[in-house]
Structure 1
Amino acid sequence: MWPVFWTVVRTYAPYVTFPVAFVVGAVGYHLEWFIRGKDPQPMEEEKSISERREDRKLDELLGKDHTQVVSLKDKLEFAPKAVLNRNRPEKN
């Protein structure tokens, strides 16, 4: 008898599990809204990461004096040496 029962359960499992899952989901959904309350407060939209980054960059730019820049000669001193020149002796 048990093999016949398990064969029937295996064959008709989708027809049994879908209504059960539907009922459990509907009960859980309504129970959650009952616990939370009927009138949810509208959420304020959050800024995306890219919008927050742009705002942060704009704030940084506002605090800088754009007339004071580093000369190109000073920048070249800190430039990394070329990879091919690493093993060559330095000229003094």
Structure 2
Amino acid sequence: MWPVIWAAARTYAPYITFPVALVVGAVGYQMEWFIRGTPKQVVEEQSILERREERALQEAAGKDLTQVISLKEKSEFTPKAVLNRNRQEKSSN
């Protein structure tokens, strides 16, 4: 008789274990919330991106954004390319 029972249990294992696991999970979930108590309200923090945007807006609040550096002036401050660092300048010869 035992071989027949084991064969049936092996065949129908998913149909037996899923409802059992579902009940055990639901009971465990309810017990956890009973032990912990009611959940507290979570205060949402601003993300890093939101903080960065807020800081940029505060910095830009007192500036005149129509006054920008021209591209000609800006090109003087660009660093030399990494591959050209060890080459001698033409003007230094």
TM-score range, shorter chain: 0.5 to 0.7
SS in 1 for 2:43: coil
5+ unaligned residues in a row in structure 2: which ranges?
Answer: none
Deviation string 1:24-48 (CA, Å, 9 cap, x unpaired) is 11111111111122x4333333334
3-state DSSP of counterpart to 1:14: helix
User: 1:58 is aligned with what amino acid?
Assistant: L
TM-score of the superposed pair, with normalisation by structure 2: 0.59
What are the equivalent positions in structure 2 for 1:64-83 lying under 5 Å apart? 65-66=63-64, 74-81=73-80
Counterpart in the other structure of 2:29: 29
Distance 1:13 1:53, change over 3 A: farther
Aligned to 1:15: 15
Relative to structure 1, the CA distance from residue 17 to residue 49 in structure 2 (aligned partners, 3 Å threshold; closer, same or farther) is: farther
Counterpart in the other structure of 1:91 = 90
Deviation at 1:17, TM superposition (A): 1.0
SS at match of 2:78: coil
1:59 match = 58
The CA distance in 2 between the partners of 1:6 and 1:16, in whole Å, is 13
Question: Aligned-pair RMSD on alpha carbons?
Answer: 3.7
Identity of aligned residues (%): 64
Q: Which amino acid aligns with 2:12?
A: Y
Unaligned stretches of 5+ in structure 1?
none
1:16 Cα deviation after fit: 1.2
Aligned amino acid, residue 8 of structure 2: V
Structure 2 match to 1:50: 49
Does residue 1:40 correspond to 2:39, yes or no? Answer: yes
